Structure 1
Amino acid sequence: MNQAVRNDTKDVPRAIVITLISLFIFGLQDIAVKALVADYPPTQLVMIRFWGVGLFMVIWIGRTSDFSSVLRSHFPGLQILRSVLLLADIWLFTAALNYMQTSDLQAIFMLFPITVSVLAVPLLGERMDVYRWLAVLIGFAGALIVVRPGFQQIDSSLWLVAGAVLSFSLYTVLTRKVATRDSTKTSMLYLALVAVLLSTAVGVFDLKAMTPNAILVMLVVIVCAIATHILFTEALKYAPASTLQPFNFLALPVAVLLSFLFFGYITDIITVVGGAVTIAAGVMVWVRERKRNVIKPNLAGVKLSNIKPVLADHSD
């Protein structure tokens, strides 16, 4: 997705509306996967999801570009690694949904911008200034509020979420790296091919026959994943990703609302407060990154605020 927005097509209000719609669809996808994962292996759900989405991506890229030229990458090893990391994130996130409500999971997952900020120091050579350290401490405090160590039992599901945050953060950092020379379509194609092949290699060994209702719900997951990709792409035609990035934090209130509507689950106030603190830390990182872009517009590389992770939904 191109980050530049032509002046004659700039329409920020429209872009915001499209982004909000896509976030709501993301939330519905979380709910659909939450309903499935209680009865079916996460590896099977991720495999089927990537069959649908991967097929769509390959057909779309093949119809709009030269397939062989798109496949050429300046960082083939990193492209494969980032695809594996995103797939690992999706496996872990899906498995965690079997134990946690989507709202609780999202409250912890809001840590990922902070984790990306830290990982960018050793992997991208960025500097960890006082502002970033403050954001890290605030984000960590918010996560502790949600987890409440010592006041509730910490089970294996939290380790699944932690693994998902780490793998997604590494994926995002590598996406920033490859975006310096590879096109977005190249990154998307590698992701589609690697995810389909690897998810199938793992998923075929743990299959369970699906009921007609489950198949319909699985189709909802696939349609939601494709729809959100199209909507994100459409939103970026009218506004830069740096403008739309803060609205991604609304994934938490959307998850709180949908958890209540579909499962009758009321997210406790402590989790909401902790999630809000973590989001505040993420916004601090975004503000800092945006200021640095304004002050140093010619720096090489792509900032976090300008990256829209490709197919990076976590409800798969």
Structure 2
Amino acid sequence: MSEHDAGQSRRRADNVAMGIGLSVLAIIIFGVQDAVSKSLVQTHSPFQIAMVRFWAFAAFSLWLVSRQAPLRLAFRSRFPVLQVARAVLLVIDIWAFAMALRTVPLAELQAVVLVYPLLATLMAIPILGERVGVFRLLAVAVGFAGALVIVRPGGLPIDGGVLFALLSAATYALYIALTRKVSAVDSTATSMVYAGVGGLVLTTAVGVFFWTPFEGEALWQMAFMTVSSTAAHGLMTVALARAPASTLQPFNYLALPWGIFLSYQFFGHLIDPVALVGGAVIVGAGLVVMARERHLSRAGRNTAPSVAEEETPPH
């Protein structure tokens, strides 16, 4: 290997290492944000909280895209209906996750919503026309079995909170599949603008009817969530520019142990050992699916990475 090639190899390795580090930092911030949000949703409407968050997210998206090209170009889409649908799904995901936070312990909630990559794998069949073999279908089934372990008799009560958690995972998985579809013809900037502006319009149209003033500790909590959400998305954006999404995706599963720690530190809740096993099964199944996708991609049997490998954490 020449000195020039060796230098390029070291730079690529340095970039990947930086991408992983930034991704992990973003996941840490997202986890703290979820813990703060769990406290905030006890006193304020999830619709109001989502609205304020999207104000910040939309501003960040527009600023980021405007630095690269005129905004009017970013609004040009070959799939405008699907882009709007993506925005609606993302909003429903955030609403449902916030509703689940009200009653479901943070650790168990993180475990349940981690089924989203498995759901995305199934949704890729009708939406993207992908062929999913028996091996991956079996891994998906095992992952769902892990979710059933968490909500087993004597585990999490099958109430609105658990249903909202499952709705959050399902809508985010569908959002991922649609994102994969539109990315074939639309730029990342277009997808960001539609998600930010579309979410801003929808959450504001609903959130204004649930407005109550933020006072005292709630004001500081909302301020932290706004700043941390923007910072975490920014970190993840830079991370994805430094390292492939398929390299970063497995680190998203750090959300589970981090969620367990935060659940204990903030709320004194320690995850049930059997629920922990269920969460580990979900994580294991997701990693198996990703490994299988990567193997098929390298073998030349897939033309693109799996939808389960292309997205950042949903919250």
Fold shared per TM-score above 0.5: yes
TM-score by length of 1: 0.92
Residues 97-136 of structure 1: CA deviation (Å, up to 9, x unaligned):
0011211101111111111111111111111311122112
TM-score by length of 2: 0.92
Residues 49-70 of structure 1: CA deviation (Å, up to 9, x unaligned):
1112211221232233211111
- Tell me the amino acid that sits aligned with residue 214 of structure 2: M
Q: Which residue of 2 aligns with 1:67?
A: 71
Q: Given the alignment of the two structures, is residue 308 of structure 1 paired with residue 311 of structure 2, yes or no?
A: yes
Q: Which residue of 1 aligns with 2:145?
A: 141
Moved more, 226-235 or 81-90: 226-235
* Alpha carbons 2:96, 2:168 under 8 Å: kept: yes
* Alpha carbons 2:156, 2:162 under 8 Å: kept: no
After superposition, residues 261-272 of structure 1 pair within 5 angstroms as: 261-272=265-276
- Tell me the amino acid that sits aligned with residue 135 of structure 2: Y
Moved more, 6-15 or 249-258: 6-15
Q: Which residue of 2 aligns with 1:39?
A: 43
- Tell me the amino acid that sits aligned with residue 307 of structure 2: L
Alpha-carbon distance in 1 for matches of 2:94, 2:182: 20
Q: Which residue of 1 aligns with 2:296?
A: 292
What is the aligned residue count? 306
Alpha-carbon distance in 1 for matches of 2:18, 2:66: 29
Q: Which runs of 5+ in 2 are unaligned?
A: 1-7
Q: Which residue of 2 aligns with 1:27?
A: 31
Alpha-carbon distance in 2 for matches of 1:302, 1:58: 27
Equivalent position to 1:257, from 249, 254, 261: 261
Moved more, 263-272 or 35-44: 263-272
Q: What is the DSSP-based 3-state SS (H/G/I as helix, E as strand, rest coil) of the residue aligned with 1:253?
A: helix
Q: Given the alignment of the two structures, is residue 247 of structure 1 paired with residue 242 of structure 2, yes or no?
A: no
* Alpha carbons 2:121, 2:306 under 8 Å: kept: no
* Alpha carbons 1:115, 1:169 under 8 Å: kept: yes
Given the superposition, is the C-alpha separation of residues 266 and 152 from structure 1 closer, same or farther in structure 2, using an over 3 Å criterion?
closer
Moved more, 38-47 or 7-16: 7-16
* Alpha carbons 2:75, 2:194 under 8 Å: kept: yes
* Alpha carbons 1:9, 1:237 under 8 Å: kept: no
Equivalent position to 2:87, from 83, 86, 89: 83
Q: Which residue of 1 aligns with 2:5?
A: none
Alpha-carbon distance in 1 for matches of 2:63, 2:137: 44
Superposed displacement of residue 158, structure 1: 1.2
- Tell me the amino acid that sits aligned with residue 165 of structure 2: V
Superposed displacement of residue 277, structure 1: 0.2
Residues 176-212 of structure 1: CA deviation (Å, up to 9, x unaligned):
1011111111100000110000000011111112213
After superposition, residues 96-245 of structure 1 pair within 5 angstroms as: 96-149=100-153, 153-245=157-249
Superposed displacement of residue 298, structure 1: 7.1
Q: Which runs of 5+ in 1 are unaligned?
A: 1-5
* Alpha carbons 1:15, 1:238 under 8 Å: kept: yes
Alpha-carbon distance in 2 for matches of 1:239, 1:280: 22
Given the superposition, is the C-alpha separation of residues 72 and 257 from structure 1 closer, same or farther in structure 2, using an over 3 Å criterion?
same
Q: What is the DSSP-based 3-state SS (H/G/I as helix, E as strand, rest coil) of the residue aligned with 2:241?
A: coil
Q: Which residue of 1 aligns with 2:3?
A: none
* Alpha carbons 2:297, 2:305 under 8 Å: kept: no
* Alpha carbons 2:19, 2:243 under 8 Å: kept: yes
Alpha-carbon distance in 2 for matches of 1:146, 1:93: 17
Q: Which residue of 1 aligns with 2:96?
A: 92
Alpha-carbon distance in 1 for matches of 2:218, 2:156: 33
Residues 117-170 of structure 1: CA deviation (Å, up to 9, x unaligned):
111111111113111221122111100111113666321211111111111111
Q: What is the DSSP-based 3-state SS (H/G/I as helix, E as strand, rest coil) of the residue aligned with 2:209?
A: coil
- Tell me the amino acid that sits aligned with residue 74 of structure 2: V
Identity percentage of aligned residues: 41
- Tell me the amino acid that sits aligned with residue 132 of structure 2: M
Moved more, 79-88 or 141-150: 141-150
Alpha-carbon distance in 2 for matches of 1:165, 1:99: 16
- Tell me the amino acid that sits aligned with residue 71 of structure 2: F
Alpha-carbon distance in 1 for matches of 2:163, 2:283: 20
Superposed displacement of residue 292, structure 1: 1.7
Alignment root-mean-square deviation, CA: 1.7
